[in-house]
Amino acid sequence: MMTPDMVTTGFEIPGLNIVRNVGVVRGIVVRSRSVVGNFAGAIQTLFGGNISIYTNLCERTRTEAYDMMCDHAERNGANAVVAMRYDATEIMAGVTEVICYGTAVVAEPTR
């Protein structure tokens, strides 16, 4: 399993040489808010501050997309991902797509 230190938003990983570019990898999750979640979120907005029900939903969604991206990279023979990014798009009211993507590479320790 790919470890977090092998995924970076940068274009290199300190102490490692990129020896092969495997290609673009991604994880995509499309998620909707439930009626109960919308109600609880609406109640939380009355009091201000962090809307924890939405924060937790976003965190779970990004984690899923990240894990899917790492799995995609490993299936293609990579041991690292560089230039990792997140993006999100609202497909329709209450339905959001979250994508995590990057460039899968094979990296080896610097000699």
Tens digit of each residue's pLDDT, the chain (111 residues): 789 999 999 999 999 999 999 999 999 999 876 655 556 656 666 676 676 777 888 899 999 999 999 999 999 999 999 999 999 999 988 788 999 999 999 999 998
Domain membership flag for residue 39:
no
Q: Which amino acid is at 58?
A: C
Domain membership flag for residue 18:
yes
Domain membership flag for residue 84:
yes
List the CATH number of the domain containing 80: 3.30.110.70
pLDDT at 72: 98
Domain membership flag for residue 50:
no
Domain membership flag for residue 98:
yes
The domain containing residue 14 runs over which residues? Answer: 4-32+63-109
- Counting the structural domains of the chain, the total is 1
Q: How far apart are CA 10 and CA 84, in angstroms?
A: 8
pLDDT at 57: 84
Dihedral angle sign, alpha carbons of residues 9, 10, 12, 14: negative
Q: How far apart are CA 58 and CA 92, in angstroms?
A: 16
Q: How far apart are CA 54 and CA 103, in angstroms?
A: 29
